[in-house]
Amino acid sequence: MAPERKNKKGDEKDKRMKTSVVITLLNDFRVKRTIESLLKQERIPDEIIIADGGSHDELMTMLLEYERKYNIVKVHVLPGSVAETRNKVLPLLNREIIVFLDADEIAPPHWLANIVAPIERGEVDFVGGPTKPFAEAKNRCEKFINEYSKWFYENVVSNDISMLPMGNTAWHRKIFDKIGGFDERLKWGGEDYDVNLRALASGFRGKLVKDAWVWHDQSHLNSLKKIFKKKYKYAIGATLSYFKSKEVDRKIGRAAKTSIRYLHPIEAVNLFIKPLAFVKGYMIWRKINQT
């Protein structure tokens, strides 16, 4: 007697890779929306890992209640910078796909299925998705940063996957097995850019998947001062990544897409920020290499 054939839905489920969704946070109550959105996915994660950098008791009580109520939710208190906390959580993960989602991001029901699909099909090794505004902008600054985020993914990340932010990404775990974790020396930022460069230099493939979008709450960037401060910090992080990865940069033949980046008005700010960030980054890099 011939064995019973599985239905198509069963076959597809058998081909699924196990997924760990990691949320790194510190004192951010917005994570409640993030967790709720993951529990409502069309494809539920195999585990939701909360990597907490040392939040206060009230938030920890809330997180531990999720852990008590849902067996797929696991809370780990791992003090340190973002890079340090992520490095501490990596050895605790035993799933094939590692997904990073930020505490200020909310996933629509189709998100997880869309972001892991290209990896499961063997098309690429890591995937990122764009972001959309969580709420209508309340002032010009919020509107500006929302428009810039849309432009950044459509014009920068789509042309240069090394510029992919770490929030809203999925990675085959073999990448971290080969290249190691996040560089904890890059405390100013740029650790995501550094990981992207090392992954690409090691022969791994990445892509932006437009359908793997999430809502992003950037309402805290409601003034020019806050926007410029964030840009300055990121510019320092990028400078540190450049000093570290310039040989890697050359190896993969990455060219700066200045003509694309400066089409957006906010990038003009870099004309003033980058020289300052370059000097600051150089001083930090020299100090790092002297220790």
Contact predicate 149/198, CB 8 Å: no
Taking only the tens of pLDDT, the chain with its 291 residues reads 433 434 455 555 557 899 999 999 999 999 999 999 999 999 999 999 999 999 999 999 999 999 999 999 999 999 999 999 999 999 999 899 999 999 999 999 999 999 999 999 999 999 999 999 887 767 777 787 788 888 889 988 999 999 899 999 999 999 999 999 999 888 777 788 899 999 999 999 999 999 999 999 877 766 777 777 777 777 777 777 777 776 455 544 544 444 445 455 555 556 666 666 666 666 766 777 766
Q: Give the pLDDT confidence score for residue 288 in this predicted structure.
A: 72
Measured CA to CA, the distance from residue 155 to residue 151 in angstroms comes to 6
Measured CA to CA, the distance from residue 26 to residue 29 in angstroms comes to 9
Q: Give the pLDDT confidence score for residue 5 in this predicted structure.
A: 39
Measured CA to CA, the distance from residue 100 to residue 87 in angstroms comes to 13
Contact predicate 126/175, CB 8 Å: yes
pTM over 0.95: no
**Which residues have a Cβ under 8 Å from the Cβ of 101 and sit 6 or more positions away?**
21, 22, 23, 34, 38, 107, 167, 168, 214
Q: Give the pLDDT confidence score for residue 226 in this predicted structure.
A: 77
Measured CA to CA, the distance from residue 75 to residue 78 in angstroms comes to 9
Amino acid at 56: H
- Comparing CA positions, the residue from 178, 151, 155 lying closest to residue 259 is 155
**Radius of gyration in angstroms for the set of CA atoms belonging to the chain, rounded to a whole number:** 20
Pairing of strands 73-77, 169-172: unpaired
Measured CA to CA, the distance from residue 158 to residue 209 in angstroms comes to 9
Q: Give the pLDDT confidence score for residue 94 in this predicted structure.
A: 87
Measured CA to CA, the distance from residue 38 to residue 44 in angstroms comes to 7
- The two tokens of residue 160 are 């240069």
Helix/strand/coil (H/E/C) assignment for every residue in 132-153: EECCCCCCHHHHHHHHHHHHHH
Strand order in the sheet with 131-133: 105-106, 214-216, 131-133
In the chain the domains, ranked by start, together with CATH numbers, are: 16-220 (3.90.550.10)
